[in-house]
Amino acid sequence: MPDPSIQSAEGTLRGAVLVLLQFDVCETIRLDQLRELIRARTIEPPSLKQPALGYVRYERPPIVEPLGTLMLESGERLQGEIKYFDYGVLSVIFELPFVGDWEKLTSLASRWVWDIDFAAQATEIVRGRLERAAPALIKPYKQWLSEDYLIFHIREIDPLPSAADLIQQHGARIAQVVRGDTGKLAESECHEVLQSRISYYANDLAVIGWNAAFVYDSTSGAETAIQLLEYANSQLLEFRHYDDLLTEELERVYTLLDGGTGFFMRWRLARSATRLHTVLLDVMELTEHADNAIKFLSDMFSARLYKLAALKVGVPDYKELVTRKVSTAEELYRFMVDQFNQSRAFFLELTVVIILVIELVYLFRGKPF
């Protein structure tokens, strides 16, 4: 049992642990139709750090409705809600109120990060909700990609420290929470984790990792960070989908090209080129759609926070993969079109030659063609 004096010195933490689960279920969702089907509310814009004119707004605000309680084997009861984004992503957030010390928080973080498969438990709940939302789904997928993320939101620490004091006194603990590890981390690893931190006021802090984040702020102040972490993870999910889609299409084209580029094969390339070009247009349209889903008009802090969150969860990496595959697909498309055009030109030239030969034959026989 920990020494009571140490526990008292460290103080009591109050807040909540949020489990963010996202599923890519279809190409797009008709939000207007969905709202009529489930009679849910539209999400409100997040509160702002700055009371100025700068703000963050959704291009098409997601629809949100409450979920039931999720009961874990440990007896913990989590309250949830589900959000429907128009680009085909469903976001589920389960929340557990938290009161305890740093040791309790690091223990919970380790158990939830590594030992509990929240996605598997939430999948059946999501499938049940989608049954009535089915008419609003465009091109639903048979198999879903998913992402999970944990947010440890602490709104109060006794006594209340500044962000600088919190890093100095409990930086190693925060690194453990973000990594989901109860062991003492090396100084270099703590430094690596704490480099990904951002603050606006002296008494708020967000430390962002690839699978979890620590947020020290008031309930209203943390709202922006939570929504931007949610959006960054939804973008990661979308780019993963585009990456899989392009990989599958490129493999199909390579298999076709392995069959050779003979005269008759080139006519098949025309159909494949048309299909590939359609996929490219779909990917570029959907990428732009997801990219522009949220707008940062003049709230520079939110823009910087989002950039940090996207970097840590891996959005730029997958976006670069998709960009490279789009470039490869465009080159393959041009190659297939060139091959088809050469075959068509050869066919037309051959047709002209045949017609001329026939005309000559009839001419030498003295019969009109």
**Among 99, 79, 82, which residue's Cα sits nearest to residue 90?**
82
Lowest mean pLDDT among 295-299, 306-310, 347-351: 295-299
One domain for residues 124 and 178: yes
**Whole-number pLDDT of residue 119:** 87
Beta bridge pairs of residue 81: 66, 93
The band of 363, judged by pLDDT with boundaries at 50, 70 and 90, is confident
**Token code pair at residue 258:** 């392995």
Q: Do 57 and 172 fall into the same domain?
A: yes
Pair of tokens at residue 135? 């008419």
**What's residue 266's pLDDT?**
53
Do 189 and 74 belong together in one domain?
yes
Q: Does 367 reside within a domain?
A: no
Residues 345 and 266 grouped into a single domain? yes
Sign of the CA dihedral with 175 first, then 177, 180, and 183 last? positive
What's the DSSP call for residue 261? -
Query: Domain range spanning residue 87?
Result: 4-231
Distance CA 249, CA 176 (A): 41
Is residue 336 a part of any domain in this protein?
yes
Is residue 127 located within the same domain as residue 148? yes
The predicted model gives 343-369 an average pLDDT of: 70
Q: For residue 102, what are the CA distances in angstroms to 41, 135, 255? A: 36, 47, 55
Which helix or strand (DSSP H or E) is residue 83 part of? Answer: strand 77-84
Q: Which pLDDT score, from 0 to 100, does residue 88 have?
A: 92
If asked whether residues 117 and 207 sit together in one domain, one would say yes
* Residues 160 and 263 placed together within one structural domain of the fold: no
* Single residue among 182, 202, 231 that ends a domain in this structure: 231
DSSP 85-153: -TTSEEEEEEEEEEEE-HHHHHHHHHHHHHT--HHHHHHHHHHHHHHHHGGGEEEEEEEEEEEEEEEEE
Residue 315 placed within a domain:
yes
What are the beta bridge partners of residue 89?
24
What is d(CA 367, CA 305) in angstroms, rounded to the nearest whole number?
85
Residue 246 lies in a domain: yes
Structurally, the chain folds into a number of domains equal to 2
User: CA 188 to CA 253: how far, in whole Å?
Assistant: 46
Q: Per mean pLDDT, which range of 23-27, 91-95, 113-117 is the poorest?
A: 113-117
**Residue 80: which H helix or E strand, with range?**
strand 77-84
Name the domain boundary from 181, 210, 231: 231
Q: Are 259 and 265 a contacting pair, CB within 8 Å?
A: yes
Read off the pTM. 0.81
Biggest CA pair distance of the chain: 119
In a domain, 366, yes or no: no
Q: Is residue 368 part of a domain?
A: no
Same-domain pairing of 271 and 289: yes
**Phi (first) and psi of residue 93, to 5 degrees:** -125, 120
- Mean pLDDT of all residues belonging to the chain: 82
**Cα–Cα distance measured from residue 196 to residue 303, given in angstroms and rounded to the nearest whole number:** 15
Q: What whole-number distance in Å separates Cα of residue 120 and Cα of residue 361?
A: 76
- Kindly state whether residue 369 falls inside one of the protein's structural domains: no
Query: pLDDT tier at 52 (50, 70, 90 boundaries)?
Result: very low
Last residue of a domain, one of 197, 231, 265: 231
Q: Is the domain of 317 the same as that of 181? A: no
Residue 46: phi and psi, rounded to 5, are: -65, 150
Pair of tokens at residue 217: 């702020």
Q: Are residues 45 and 59 in the same domain?
A: yes
Task: Determine the pLDDT at residue 5.
Answer: 37
Nearest to 104 by CA among 155, 150, 152: 152
Average pLDDT over residues 261-289: 65
Omega cis (within 30) before 159: yes
* 334 and 272 Cβ atoms separated by less than 8 Å: no
Question: Is 221 found in the same domain as 303?
Answer: no
Mean pLDDT of 223-236: 91
Residue 199 has pLDDT above 50, yes or no: yes
Q: Which residue has the higher pLDDT, 328 or 273?
A: 328
Q: Is residue 323 part of a domain?
A: yes
Is residue 275 packed enough to be buried (19+ CB in 10 Å), middle (13-18) or exposed (0-12)?
middle
Instruction: Determine the Cα–Cα distance for residues 231 and 86; give it in Å rounded to an integer.
Output: 12
Are residues 340 and 269 in contact, defined by beta-carbon separation less than 8 angstroms?
A: yes
Q: Tell me: do 281 and 248 sit in the same domain.
A: yes
Core vs surface per residue 283-295: b (16+ CB within 10 A) or e: beebbebbeebbe
Specify the pLDDT at position 1.
Answer: 38
